[in-house]
Amino acid sequence: MSIDFQPITATLGAEVSGVDMASVDGETLDQLRKAWLDHKVLVLRDQHITVEEHIAFGRLFGDLEIHPFAPDKAGHPEVVSLTSTSQDQSAASFWHSDVTWRQEPSMGSILRGVVLPPAGGDTCFADAGAAYDRLSPEWKERIDPLVAVHDFTSTFGRDLSREKRTEKQREYPPARHPVVRTHPDTGKRSIYTNRIFVSHIEGVSEDESREIIQSLERQIMNPSVQCRIRWEVDTFVMWDNRAVQHFATNDYWPETRQVERVTIVGDRPI
């Protein structure tokens, strides 16, 4: 079967057919790499593969991260296992890019549906480049030179003891990233701030910092730059963390939702 990519929107997302994630040759990998840059979010359905094959597929695109805070799958530290239940709702229901508090945030993520509710639990994606393009020239001029400080403390740090939090802050100090990053492969400019990991914008007042962060989030929230993915068991979604933001809908209580992710090491944003 030949590989087919069916776009979800004009600029964001594609459903992929004709790929077996357990057996990817060089030509297939080249096509996937190109499509990932073109569509930013790829959806591969009915991939009945093992955890080891999930890890091996991720490694085709680069080294894999070990997340210092999120729960992993037993025996597989490369796999982040995220479970939301009626007692513990852990869906990432906020617009963000993954681990932007790292000095070198992730290049991309590959997420698998494991246990899914009968309805709800979709993931929404936003094209951060298209969101930037829709800004006025005045706003672009205002934010292009700015730097944002990203910090894990207000999120993952909340559940740590004071001693452990201090230890992790030494290991993962606040990261300075451009408010507008340039994609290393496409050259595309895109919004690279989010409300949960960005503590402040450097060189402006606290009020202006808050205004900028909230205004840019509203750009990301525009449905015209988004696509929405409906999950099924053994559906895999891979996204370019340098080009998109995502939001996991929390609309399935009291059902359970479990997903598993491998995350590809990235580089320092410029």
Active site residues: 96, 98, 246, 261
Tell me which residue has tokens 């009020």: 207
Tell me which residue has tokens 């100090």: 173
**What are the phi and psi torsion angles at 178 (to 5°)?**
-65, 145
Residue 34: exposed, middle, or buried by beta-carbon count in 10 A (0-12, 13-18, 19+)? exposed
Query: 123: which 2 tokens?
Result: 């993931």
Query: 160: which 2 tokens?
Result: 């740590």
**What are the phi and psi torsion angles at 115 (to 5°)?**
-125, 125
Distances (CA, A) of 233 to 10, 22, 119, 198, 269: 26, 16, 13, 33, 33
Distances (CA, A) of 112 to 1, 43, 66, 235: 23, 10, 17, 6
Number of helices (H), then strands (E), belonging to the chain: the values are: 6, 16
* Range list of β-strands (E), the chain: 4-7, 14-17, 41-44, 72-73, 76-84, 108-115, 123-127, 147-150, 175-178, 180-182, 189-191, 198-201, 226-229, 236-240, 244-248, 257-264
In whole angstroms, give the CA distance from residue 57 to residue 180: 30
